[in-house]
Amino acid sequence: MKKKGLKIGTQITLGFWIFLILIVALLWLMQTVFLRPFYRGVKTAQVRAIAESVQRELETEELDERVKNLANDTGMAILVTDEFGTRYSGYKASQRESLIELMDRTTLRTFFDEVNQDGGSRLAVYASPYTYLNGERSEVLLYAKICRSQSGNPRMILIESEITPVSAVVDTLRIQLIAVTVIMAVLGSFLAFFIARRISKPVTDINEAAKGLAQGYTQIHFPAGGTREVNELGETLNYAASEIGKAENLRRELLANVSHDLRTPLTMIEGYAEVMRDIPGENTPENVQIIIDEAGRLTALVNDLLDLSKFEAGEVSLKRERFNLTAEVRDILTRFDKMADFTFPFDAGEEVWVYADRLMISQVVYNLVNNAVSYSGEDKTVYLRQEIRGSAVRISVEDHGEGIPPDKLKDIWERYYKVDREHRRSRAGTGLGLSIVRNILTLHGGTYGVESVLGQGSTFWFELPLAPSENSDYNREQNDSLQN
Ligand code: ADP
């Protein structure tokens, strides 16, 4: 089989490398291409701001102090002149000579005029007259601004800032960047490898285990490991495996039970028939009755199995009609009347009509009463009650028998499920009765349930919606259309 898709490990490593390439590319761009303009931009903003703050102090006593502080703080040279080149205040931070310092009165005056013509301010980069790092010429940024003092005299503010040669920095950064790139690539590859292993290993393990499931081993335990998703997957598969295991066990049990249930009556029928054929005088009505009873057992079992397989195949359709449920229950109870030692008190109240499949609902009642009889023990009384609850009617069947353990209450509705695992013939149940009840009520959209106390008895109940009153044709049509 051709394997589709990339391995988790490959995907993670690939993703990591794409990420790394993007990051490194971005860093290179930022640090080499854009560093110079970025640096200039910052410097320009700085000199402008200094010019502003000098301008505010132009005619105050603090001008000198202010200029000195600013120059010291920023490492720049600052000069304030008038239109004739007279120096009013000036200061430079470093020991190095500055371009401004070299300008004499005449140069300053000419410069003033030039700046004035430029529109009152000029920003320019000049080659510094001094050498700097590695013999490379350093550059200076010169900013000039002409403004008027409070008393209206023209002033020129000159700010000079050295621009550290960026290429030297760029070289350093480049080396650093190469180092970072190499370290990141090595470290990242290791990391990607280990992460990928951590994630893919448990998935591979689970995959191996799941292959066993497909071959019918349901006792598999799916390993947990690594990430939460994988753990959850493991849990889900464990759950699935245990459910499949349960279903498989039930299937096996059913096969065993059904074969047993079929064989026992058949053996009886065969045995009695042979006795009646071979031994004169054994052809008695009692023996014939035994054969008939056993044949009845067989029929009931086969019918249950057929019903259930039809339900499960979804082949059952409801034949709804309006009928008197109360009368129907009474009718079913008469079928049990031949059990001379049992009594079936029915607390009914008014007659109640429902719109449902009559045959199926009677099967529900029959199965519940039949179970109550089978499990009622010494009491030999099965109590039936009919109650109206809002727009529904509830039928309950109560026995004072052995009850059902609380942890089994959910399972009894499952097909083939029996609380009593031993196959006692006196209780010729197949474990199908309640499953049929559940199927029928679900098809009707009804509700059902059971309350049971171990050793005290059980109450099984179901609820169906009441039928609309007889003369309401509209409601009947509604129900018909709902059914379709
Ligand atoms: P069965 O044919 O075995 O009665 P059912 O599906 O009708 O199968 O019932 C499933 C199981 O539920 C029974 O085997 C029995 O253990 C339990 N059960 C059903 N009804 C009662 C009841 N009234 N009292 C106690 N246990 C019951």
Confidence of residue 420 (pLDDT cuts 50, 70, 90): low
Say what the pLDDT of residue 397 is: 96
Confidence of residue 166 (pLDDT cuts 50, 70, 90): low
Confidence of residue 462 (pLDDT cuts 50, 70, 90): very high
Indicate whether residue 435 lines ligand 1 (CB < 6 A): yes
Tell whether the model's pLDDT for residue 466 goes beyond 90.
Answer: yes
Closest ligand 1 atom number to CA of residue 372 = 23
Distance 233 CA to ligand 1 centre (A): 36
Pairing relationship of beta strands 136-148 and 320-324 according to DSSP bridges: unpaired
Distance 435 CA to ligand 1 centre (A): 10
Protein residue whose Cα sits closest to atom 19 of ligand 1:
371
Indicate whether residue 432 lines ligand 1 (CB < 6 A): yes
Closest ligand 1 atom number to CA of residue 429 = 2
First to last CA, the chain: 47
Distance 380 CA to ligand 1 centre (A): 16
Protein residue whose Cα sits closest to atom 13 of ligand 1:
418
The residue ranking higher by pLDDT, 422 or 295, is: 295
Confidence of residue 49 (pLDDT cuts 50, 70, 90): very high
Indicate whether residue 433 lines ligand 1 (CB < 6 A): yes
Pairing relationship of beta strands 87-92 and 447-453 according to DSSP bridges: unpaired
Say what the pLDDT of residue 471 is: 57
Q: What does the pLDDT look like over 63-101, one tens digit per residue?
A: 888 888 888 888 888 999 988 888 888 887 766 677 888
Distance 420 CA to ligand 1 centre (A): 8
Indicate whether residue 234 lines ligand 1 (CB < 6 A): no
Say what the pLDDT of residue 387 is: 95
Tell whether the model's pLDDT for residue 306 goes beyond 80.
Answer: yes
Q: What does the pLDDT look like over 254-294, one tens digit per residue?
A: 788 778 778 888 998 999 999 999 998 988 999 999 899 88
Distance 464 CA to ligand 1 centre (A): 22
Distance 251 CA to ligand 1 centre (A): 18
Indicate whether residue 412 lines ligand 1 (CB < 6 A): yes
Indicate whether residue 429 lines ligand 1 (CB < 6 A): yes
Indicate whether residue 89 lines ligand 1 (CB < 6 A): no
Protein residue whose Cα sits closest to atom 7 of ligand 1:
433
Query: Mean of the pLDDT values across residues 31-42?
Result: 81
Confidence of residue 62 (pLDDT cuts 50, 70, 90): confident
Closest ligand 1 atom number to CA of residue 401 = 24
Q: What does the pLDDT look like over 219-251, one tens digit per residue?
A: 777 777 777 888 888 888 888 888 888 888 878
Say what the pLDDT of residue 388 is: 94
Closest ligand 1 atom number to CA of residue 403 = 25
Protein residue whose Cα sits closest to atom 25 of ligand 1:
403
Query: Mean of the pLDDT values across residues 454-481?
Result: 74
Tell whether the model's pLDDT for residue 357 goes beyond 80.
Answer: yes
Indicate whether residue 265 lines ligand 1 (CB < 6 A): no
Query: Mean of the pLDDT values across residues 132-156?
Result: 80
Give the least confident one: 30-34, 294-298, 304-308, 440-444.
30-34
Tell whether the model's pLDDT for residue 194 goes beyond 60.
Answer: yes
Indicate whether residue 254 lines ligand 1 (CB < 6 A): no
Say what the pLDDT of residue 134 is: 58
Q: What is the 3-state secondary structure (H, E, C) of the chain?
A: CCCCCCCHHHHHHHHHHHHHHHHHHHHHHHHHHCHHHHHHHHHHHHHHHHHHHHHHCCCCCCHHHHHHHHHHHHCCEEEEECCCCCEEEEEECCCCCCHHHHCCHHHHHHHHHHHHHHCCEEEEEEEEEEEECCCEEEEEEEEEEEEECCCCCEEEEEEEEEECCHHHHHHHHHHHHHHHHHHHHHHHHHHHHHHHHHHHHHHHHHHHHHHHHHCCCCCCCCCCCCCHHHHHHHHHHHHHHHHHHHHHHHHHHHHHHHHHHHHHHHHHHHHHHHHHHHCCCCCCHHHHHHHHHHHHHHHHHHHHHHHHHHHHHCCCCCCEEEEEHHHHHHHHHHHHCCCCCCECCEECCCCCEEEEEHHHHHHHHHHHHHHHHHHCCCCCEEEEEEEEECCEEEEEEEECCCCCCHHHCCHHHCCCCCCCCCCCCCCCCCCCHHHHHHHHHHHHCCEEEEEEECCCEEEEEEEEEECCCCCCHHHHHHHHHHHC
Pocket test for ligand 1, best of 412, 413, 452, 460 (most atoms within 8 A of CB): 412
Say what the pLDDT of residue 423 is: 46
Indicate whether residue 401 lines ligand 1 (CB < 6 A): yes
Confidence of residue 448 (pLDDT cuts 50, 70, 90): very high
Tell whether the model's pLDDT for residue 371 goes beyond 60.
Answer: yes
Q: What percent of the chain has pLDDT over 70?
A: 90
Q: What percent of the chain has pLDDT over 90?
A: 30
Say what the pLDDT of residue 39 is: 83
Protein residue whose Cα sits closest to atom 8 of ligand 1:
431
Confidence of residue 474 (pLDDT cuts 50, 70, 90): very low
Tell whether the model's pLDDT for residue 348 goes beyond 70.
Answer: yes
Distance 429 CA to ligand 1 centre (A): 8
Confidence of residue 429 (pLDDT cuts 50, 70, 90): low
Say what the pLDDT of residue 132 is: 56
Tell whether the model's pLDDT for residue 51 goes beyond 50.
Answer: yes
Confidence of residue 332 (pLDDT cuts 50, 70, 90): very high
The residue ranking higher by pLDDT, 62 or 399, is: 399
Confidence of residue 353 (pLDDT cuts 50, 70, 90): very high
Residues 6+ apart with CB under 8 A from 197: 9
Say what the pLDDT of residue 177 is: 85
Distance 394 CA to ligand 1 centre (A): 20
Mean pLDDT score of the chain? 84
pTM of the model: 0.51
Indicate whether residue 419 lines ligand 1 (CB < 6 A): yes
Indicate whether residue 437 lines ligand 1 (CB < 6 A): no
Query: Mean of the pLDDT values across residues 308-321?
Result: 86
Tell whether the model's pLDDT for residue 395 goes beyond 90.
Answer: yes
The residue ranking higher by pLDDT, 339 or 120, is: 120
